[in-house]
Structure 1
Amino acid sequence: MAVEERRRVAVLGAGLIGVDLADKITRTPTLELALIAGRDRDSLGMRRAAEMGLPTTAGGVHAVVEAGPFDVVFDATNADSHAEHWASLRPTGATLIDLTPTALGTVIVPGVKTHYPATHRHLNLVSCGGQASIPVLHAIAQRCTPTYIEVVSTGASASAGRATRLNLDQYIATTSAAIRTFTGTRDVKVMVNISPARPAPPFRVAMTVLADGIRPAPVRTNIAAAADAVRAYAPGFKVTALTVEPGRISAVVEVTASGGRLPRHAGSVDIINAAAVLLAEQSAAVSRRREPRP
């Protein structure tokens, strides 16, 4: 039986997200991590990647282009740089999976859309808060018509790197827009808290939905199914509170990191990276189906 060729991938960015992403890639049988590209070889992330035995370069996106071609490139840098990265990588034919909150590319939430869109090569994962909240909100919107949605994400300060802090405005705008798209709700409010508490709290997303015509049993059934779908690739996802009453639904989810090198409180990193790896695996499966047989 022939061994299927693994898809060659690269990671742009050597922060907390990039290094954990690289670690996850090395543990999947369908992807081959060929490069992790940062900007500063002496940064903590680049040193950790090198200690893990990962192939590294300090050349950024230009080094990725030169080292290509790649089947998939993950952008784990910052929103301000992403447009330039796509412009550089688009001619190479790689699929670019964006983990920054840019609102560019095709928006994907695996907990809602489970099939890889074969015609798209520029994929956007919204934000960690979007990945945690949108499956639940979409499930609710299938059973009623929300008139107002409020989402409050709280993450540990230790899990929020420099790029995350710089991109908070884009995070809020991109998450709000994605929630509108997946629920059909115009009135959406998104807030973000970065908590310095010790011990570090788990990643937590609280959602409030105002709607008419709420039927508790179907809403609860849909939310449970959505949670199961997310846990298939992010096992630390859990609905910890749910109240369904006339005119109002309140739900809280928590995400803890499971396995790998992340501390348990870094669920925000774990869920978006798990979604990114899943998309890359689906991309590999689509590519294999489209390749001509010998």
Structure 2
Amino acid sequence: MSEHPVLNVAVLGAGLIGVDLLHKIHRSPHLDCGLVVGRSQSVGLARAAEMGLATTDGGLTALLDSGKTFDLVFDASNADSHAEHWRLLEPTGAVFVDLTPHNSGTPTVPTVNGAQALTGRHISLISCGGQAAIPVLHALARHCTPSYVEVVCTGASRSAGRATRLNLDEYIATTQDAVHAFTGTLAAKVMVNVTPAVPPPPFRVHMTILAPDADPHAVRDLVEAAAAQVRRFAPGYAVIDVEATRERITVTVEVCASGGRLPAHAGNLDIINAAAIFLADMRATTLLTEGASA
């Protein structure tokens, strides 16, 4: 097996998330994009064609009829379509990475349960807010017992595409369910603000945790350690503020897009796409390890 095993991947969706994902795939030594799939001719598909990639506007049917075999498929379309996409793709054997907030598959945050999730084939990346908040919330929940968790996500309207706007209810519900699952709290609330402010602000996530057994002296170190792990694949992830008492913790993180074609304020797109690529690279590395030991 080669030193850098390459996965043949496909991307469903050519909106804001899909196009940025293509650029990130191009930079990975482990991934080769064999097809970009849309449902109609669009600016995103035109951009993919300019990059020299094979495209189709025939939807998932065209992918299944292409005669190509894919190791991994990224779903960057919309939550309403995801269930049907998975139903049709499951028999192909491809790993399916969901970037929509559909709330199916294994909820996955790379630095928390990425390795375990890759043993399955249906992976949910929850939401951009989930990717920003859960690494910190999970770290804190291992230290104390949250009785309530609140997450407020604020993003620039310029970085919220059509699918994101249509799926806001699913975004909130899926992120909220993931907060329950990764922290063990029975009470959680997620809110989303899409702001038209000029200049567009960076993506920001504010977390409030009520926990009667928190140790204020340990909190900052736990938060910073969790953030350092996220920066392995999302360098623009930063802790802006941490405050803690023995009963209440507040943490604010900010995500700026870095090292690519996205404007700095589009940290919401950057973090979920970076997480998707990180997981795909982990999958390729796993195949290399398995091949070496065979």
| 1:177 Cα deviation from its structure 2 partner | 0.4
> What residue in structure 1 maps to residue 130 of structure 2?
130
User: Could you tell me which amino acid in structure 2 is paired with residue 184 of structure 1?
Assistant: G
* CA deviation profile, 1:169-199 (whole Å, cap 9, x unmatched): 1101000000000000011000000000010
User: What is the alpha-carbon distance in structure 2 between the residues aligned to residue 2 and residue 181 of structure 1?
Assistant: 38
Q: Provide the C-alpha distance between the structure 1 equivalents of 2:25 and 2:33, rounded to a whole number of angstroms.
A: 6
Aligned-pair distance for 1:132? 0.2
Any unmatched runs of 5+ in structure 2? none
CA apart distance, 1:114: 4.1
Task: State the distance in 1 between where 2:180 and 2:234 align.
Answer: 24
CA drift of 1:167 comes to: 0.5
Map of 2:219 onto structure 1: 219
Mean alpha-carbon deviation: is it higher for 208-217 or for 283-292? Answer: 283-292
Matched position secondary structure for 1:212: coil
- Cα deviation for residue 4 of structure 1 reads 4.0
How far apart, CA to CA, are the structure 2 residues paired with 1:163 and 1:271? 17
Q: Distance in 1 between matches of 2:64 and 2:157?
A: 33
Distance in 1 of aligned mates of 2:291 and 2:262: 36
Distance 2:48 2:261 in 1: 12
Matched-pair contact (CA < 8 Å) for 1:139–1:219: no
Relative distance call for 1:176 and 1:46 in structure 2 (3 A) is: same
CA–CA distance in structure 1, aligned partners of residues 210 and 136 of structure 2: 14
Going from structure 1 to structure 2, the CA distance change for 1:289 and 1:2 (only over 3 Å counts) comes to: closer
- The CA distance in 1 between the partners of 2:293 and 2:221, in whole Å, is 43
What is the CA deviation profile of residues 43-86 of structure 1, one whole-angstrom value per residue up to 9, with x for unaligned ones? 12112222233221111111222232100000000001000000
Kindly indicate whether the alpha-carbon contact (under 8 Å) linking 1:208 and 1:250 is maintained by their aligned counterparts in 2: yes
User: TM-score scaled to structure 1, two decimals?
Assistant: 0.96
Task: State the SS of the aligned residue for 2:10.
Answer: strand
- State the match for 2:75 in structure 1: 75
Q: Deviations over 1:85-122 (max 9, x none)?
A: 00111111100000001111111101322425343000
RMSD of aligned residue pairs (Cα, Å): 1.6
The residue identity in structure 2 corresponding to 1:233 is F
* Residue 53 of structure 2: aligned partner: 54
Q: Distance in 2 between matches of 1:92 and 1:2?
A: 24
| CA–CA separation in structure 1 for the residues paired with 2:2 and 2:278 | 23
Over 3 Å counting, the alpha-carbon distance change for 1:204 and 1:197 in structure 2 is same
The alignment status of 1:201 with 2:201, answered yes or no, reads: yes
Letter paired with 2:217: A
Q: Distance in 2 between matches of 1:239 and 1:264?
A: 16
**Are the structure 2 counterparts of residues 4 and 238 from structure 1 closer, same or farther at C-alpha, using a change threshold of 3 Å?**
closer
Aligned partners of 1:93, 1:280: CA distance in 2, in Å?
15
Within 5 Å, which residues of 2 pair with 1:26-37? 26-37=26-37
Cα offset, 1:259, TM superposition: 1.4
Classify the secondary structure of the residue corresponding to 2:201: coil
Name the TM-score, length of structure 2 as normaliser. Answer: 0.96
Q: Is the 8 A contact 2:108 2:117 kept in 1?
A: no
C-alpha displacement of 1:2: 4.6
CA distance in 2, matches of 1:74, 1:53: 19
Show the counterpart of 1:163: 163
How high is the sequence identity, in percent, across the aligned residues? 57
In 2: Cα distance, 1:232 partner to 1:183 partner: 22
Alignment: residue pair count: 293
1:112 aligns with 2:78: no
CA distance in 2, matches of 1:26, 1:123: 21
Q: Secondary structure at the match of 1:10?
A: strand
Give the counterpart letter for 2:62 in structure 1: A
Q: 1:128 to 1:6 in 2, by over 3 A?
A: same
TM-aligned CA deviation for residue 293 of structure 1: 7.6
After superposition, residues 81-100 of structure 1 pair within 5 angstroms as 81-100=81-100
Partner-residue secondary structure (3-state), 1:224: helix
| Structure 1: gaps (5+ residues) | none
- 2:44 is aligned to 45
**Cα 1:2–1:153, aligned 2, differ >3 Å: closer, same or farther?**
closer
- Partner of 2:264 in structure 1? 264
Change beyond 3 A, Cα 1:89–1:283:
same
The residue type paired with residue 87 of structure 1 is R
Report how far residue 221 of structure 1 moved: 1.4
The corresponding residue for 1:229 is: 229
SS of 1:145's equivalent?
Answer: coil
